[in-house]
Amino acid sequence: MNANQVVSSKSEYREAFRETFDVFGVNIDAVQIGTAVARIERWIREARDSHIRKEVASRLVTFTNVHAVMEARRDRVFQQLLNDADMVCPDGMPLVWGAQRFGLDLRQRVCGPDLMLEFCKRTHEKGYSHYFFGGANGIAERLAEKLTKQFPGLRIAGIYSPPFRKLTAEEDRDVVERINSSHADVLWVGLGCPKQELWMQKHRNSINVPVMLGVGQAFDVHAGTLKRAPQWMCDRGLEWAFRLWTEPHRLWMRYLKTNMRFLTLVARHELHRKRLRPN
């Protein structure tokens, strides 16, 4: 694990400089929520220039936690997908603690539900339009309703909850047309990891939206169908324990395997680092 300064060469309109830190092969941006909101706003402003909008694919924002890091270690295609994203937010206190070891000034994680709420709070009077794609039947509608009540003036460009099965080619083209015809500024994708990341990567050149964000459970959280852990647990890296307590049958094996594998890797890394340290 190490800290990096990443210079992108994909396009002159891509991020010229990104401060990141490497966690077992995944480059995670050293950002906090305010910086992330400001960066997304800048991308929207750039994309409103018609010349830039024609030249640049949609910006991709992902939220990476321990589970995603370990999934990326197992699946190199997924690892490359994360490293190709325009911003990879540190969604997990273990990652924040890792960044602090590199001397980076990170204090809080940046997760999908928090960034969605903060972005709407800071920008709802600026006229940006939002499209919600994902969630079970009716969830996107409830999400849009609750957010517009909380933030008067928030513009909803469209909502769509796809079926859980794989879309046909015709259905996929229809989804792309729905989103493009909405002229949305931000596309919130709630399909779950890694499905949402794969979907965004596949469609980044066909969907004409400045920014796509894979926010996972943010749809259920802000629609009111999923309860989050208390803030004190989130701040101490214990949200996984709360989720395990509320959904033990679905999550116990995932957390047992994933967390133990991650801790084993960290222990090996620290042992190797100590061995290399001069006496």
Q: What pLDDT digit, counting tens, does each position of 145-183 carry?
A: 999 999 999 999 999 999 888 899 999 999 999 999 999
**241: number of CA atoms within 13 Å, CB side?**
10
Q: Provide the 3-class DSSP secondary structure of residue 125.
A: coil
Q: How far apart are CA 64 and CA 261, in angstroms?
A: 16
Q: What is the pLDDT of residues 18-60, one digit of tens each?
A: 899 999 899 999 999 999 999 999 999 998 876 555 556 799 9
Rounded distance between C-alpha atoms, residue 199 and residue 118, angstroms: 24
94: number of Cβ within 10 Å: 19
Query: Which tens digit of pLDDT belongs to each residue from 83-132?
Result: 999 999 999 888 998 888 888 989 999 999 999 999 999 999 999 999 99
At the top level of CATH, the class of 2-219 is alpha beta
pTM to 2 decimal places:
0.85
Each domain of the chain, given as residue ranges in start order, spans 2-219
